Amino acid sequence: MPEQTLLTYAQLRRLSPRGKRDILEGIAAHSSILETYDLTVNKLRLCHFLAQAAHETAGFRTLVEYGSTRYFRRRYGHRRDLGNVRISDGSRFRGRGIFQLTGRANYRRFGRLLDIDLEAFPLLAKKPELSLRIACEYWQRHDLNRFADANDIRAITKRINGGFNGLQDRRRYLQRAMSIWMPGAKPFADQRIVQFGDRGKQVMQLQSLLRATGRRIAVDGLFGDQTLRVLKNFQSRHRLRADGLFGRRSRQALARTNSQSGKAKPHKPPIPSPTKPKETKMDQWKSYLSSRTIWANLIGFGALALDILGFNGFSTEDKSQLVDQVLKLVEAGGFIAGVIFRALARNRLGPHMF
């Protein structure tokens, strides 16, 4: 016979210290309802159920959705998909209970399942006992025990919330619930599935494998929107279920894809190239004076000056003497320039010369 697990007020208070006393006591008093829906077959199911319940009720502080009459009329009054036929139905059939039963059609449906006229008396849905029954009925109708047994909090959240709002908060409640009813167990230690919101080395491994397939993705260890989008795209291309969960099948598909090009190497940030120091005025003068350009310019200037002064009218001997004199002047100019440069290099003329 499976082990039966009943709740106590003290346990629920540990799970949610800020919960309202009447709500916690009401759920504890009627916890035998959980047995009817096989939620006490194993403690993992119980922990997942209570984690979702704690989040949806703001830590067991309310069994009625927050908001004004005007707000609910504007938000739900026109929702024909919820079975609302009048604007006032938006407020009359607002979210109530543990999993926020909403809309005339849902009140009618679950009222018939429990043999209670919730459509005529919608306020009954916020009573702790009936709220627990409705939540268990919803849990069973959506086959959530199967996902609880697989420790798949993401799949449970999607079927309750319609998305993944508050996933981190739900995981915190799950960790706390397991510390109470399953002491020593690690909530996600045995779960090989990497999913949205996860962080750490396993996420970096996934991102490295996706990057090795040629996809543009940051290897930052955070399973965010970018990683989810790239993983879903990979799953679709390889005819896998595009659920954004990195499990056994996705891992094998990535391994096969990367086997042709070898293992995916861990991502390493590029080594920055050394920056070239900024060239100073002194460096510019040093380069200029050490080059041959200045001397070629001086010789060319001297030859031009001789042409202007009528150098062509001199004899060959006179030309040779004049060239020797010009070269001596150029040599002397170079010597003087070298002295000036050395003085500047030693800062003897001051750092603000140029």
**pLDDT for 185-233, tens place per residue?**
766 544 457 778 778 888 888 899 899 888 889 899 888 889 999 999 9
Q: What pLDDT band is residue 239 in, cutting at 50, 70 and 90?
A: confident
The confidence score (pLDDT) of residue 6 equals 81
Between 102-106, 194-198, 209-213, 255-259, the lowest mean confidence (pLDDT) is in: 194-198
Ordered alpha helix ranges (H), the chain: 9-15, 21-29, 33-36, 43-56, 69-76, 89-92, 104-113, 128-141, 144-149, 153-161, 167-181, 201-212, 225-237, 248-259, 281-290, 293-308, 316-345
Phi/psi of residue 117, nearest 5 degrees:
-85, 75
Checking if the pLDDT of 77 tops 60, the result is yes
- Mean pLDDT, residues 145-156 taken together: 92
pLDDT at 248 over 70: yes
> From residue 161, how far is each of 4, 10, 170, 232 by CA, in Å?
28, 28, 11, 20
Q: Residue 329: pLDDT band by 50, 70, 90 thresholds?
A: low
| Helix%, strand%, coil% for the chain, nearest 5 | 60, 0, 40
pLDDT, tens digit, for every residue of 15-39? Answer: 999 999 999 999 999 999 999 999 9
**pLDDT attached to residue 271:** 53
